[in-house]
Amino acid sequence: MSLETDIKQKKFRNSYQKLSINLKYTSNWLGYREMDLFKEHDLTSQQYNVLRILRGQSCSGVKVSDIAERMLDKNSNASRLIDKLLAKNLAKRTSCPNDRRAVDVVITDEGLALLEAMEPALLEIETSLSEALTEQEADQLCTLLDKLRKSE
Amino acid sequence: MSLETDIKQKKFRNSYQKLSINLKYTSNWLGYREMDLFKEHDLTSQQYNVLRILRGQSCSGVKVSDIAERMLDKNSNASRLIDKLLAKNLAKRTSCPNDRRAVDVVITDEGLALLEAMEPALLEIETSLSEALTEQEADQLCTLLDKLRKSE
DNA sequence: ATTTAAATCATGTTTCTACATTAAATGTAT
DNA sequence: ATACATTTAATGTAGAAACATGATTTAAAT
C-alpha cells in the first residue's frame, strides 16, 4: 500500500514533508515486526540493541557511555537498560581498573546464545525484505538515507 | 556522516540488516530534530500527529478508532492522547448522534492556531532537508520506502 | 596543594506506553 | 424480544522512557 492510503492523507505540503512522514511510518512498521520477535525472548528493542553493541566488542567490554553513544535511541537510559540485562544474566559489569568512574560491560555466554537463537528469525525478516527490494535498491535506499542526514 | 561511523559498526550481515538499522537511525535522527520544536509548544510528537490528523478532517470530526488507525505509532493510546489535547483546549469531544459508542473528536480554533504557529519552523526543517536531497531524490526515497513495505 | 570543572554512572520522579479489563452501545441470529 | 457476539472507547496497572538531580572520580587551573 502507498503511504497515502495507509494513513489516509491525500495531500502533503511538499516532497519533504511526505518523506518525513513516510520515514517515520516505515521505521515504525519495521519496528513492530521486530518487536514481536523481541517479545518472544523477553527483550525490548532497546535491550536487543545494547546486546548487539556488546557482541560487537565482546572481547574487550564497552563503557556505559560508549553504549549510550552508539545506541539508535539516544535518549535511552543505558544504565537502567544494563540493569535489566544484568538481572537476566545476559551481561555483566566489571569495574574498569584505570578509571574508576567507568564501568565496563561485557556480554555473557548466555547473552551471546540468546542473540544466536534470535538470528534465524531476524534473517527471515531480512529475507522477506529481499522480496520487496533488490539488493541494489536496498543499498540505494541506504545511500539516500545517509545523504539525508547530511543536512544541518 | 555515514552510518558506519555514526554507530561505530563496521560490518553488517547483509544489505537488508544495514538498511533496517539505517532506517531506524535516520527516523530517530529526524524525530529528534522535530521533538525540539514540539517541546517548545508543549506537545509530544504523538500529540502533534493527532492534531495533524484532526486538521485533515476539521469539518467533520474523527472517531477515536479512526485516529488510532491513522496514527504513525499504532500502539499509542488515542483515548489518553485526546485527554491531553482536551486539557489544553486543542481539541474537543462531541458524541456521535448516530452511534453513541463513538466519539467524534474535532480540533479547536486554538488547536488550528497552534498548528499554524508551528508551520514556519517545520517548513524550516523541510527546507534544510532540501539542502541534502533534491526533490527527485526525496520522491525516489519515498517510492523505495513504499516498495519496502510491500513485503510480507 | 586547593579549588574548580568535567566526566561517568546511578537514582528519583514524572510521564508515557503496552496490555488487559471494563462498560456501554450496537449488530445479529433465533 | 432475547441472547450473544462485536464494536467502541475509557480505565487500571505494570513497566519503560524521559528528564533532572546526585554521587563519585578524574582532570585542569591557579
Give the model's pLDDT for residue B53: 94
Q: Is the pLDDT of residue A43 over 80?
A: yes
Question: What pLDDT, in 10s, does the model give residues A85-118?
Answer: 999 999 999 988 889 999 999 999 999 999 999 9
Mean pLDDT of A66-70: 93
Distance, angstroms, CA A10 to C1' C9? 48
**H/E stretch holding A2:** none
Only one residue has cell 539505517, namely B22
Strand C positions closer than 7 A to protein CB: 7-12, 16-19, 24-27
Tell me the C-alpha distance between B111 and B95, whole Å: 19
Position A1 pLDDT exceeds 70: no
Across the interface, which of B25, B126, B144 has its CB nearest the CB of A133?
B144
Mean pLDDT of A47-57: 95
How close A57 comes to chain B (CA, Å)? 10
The yes-or-no verdict on residue A66 having pLDDT over 70 is yes
Pairing of strands A62-63, A103-107: antiparallel
Angstrom distance (rounded) from CA B76 to CA A57: 35
A47 in Cβ contact with A84 (< 8 Å)? yes
Looking at residue B1, its pLDDT comes to 67
pLDDT digits (tens, 9 = 90+) for B41-93: 999 999 999 999 999 988 888 999 999 999 887 767 899 999 999 999 999 99
| Residue B85 CA distance to nucleotide D2 C1' (Å) | 41
Beta bridge partners of B107: B91
Query: Domain ranges in chain A?
Result: 10-150
Question: Which parts of chain A fold into alpha helices (H)?
Answer: 3-7, 15-40, 45-56, 64-70, 78-87, 109-132, 135-148
Domain A10-150 has CATH 3.40.630.30: no
Q: How far apart are CA B152 and CA A66, in angstroms?
A: 35
Which residues in chain A touch residue B27, judged by CB atoms under 8 angstroms apart?
Answer: 23-24, 26-28
Count of other CB atoms within 10 angstroms of residue B38 = 19
d(CA B22, CA A132): 17
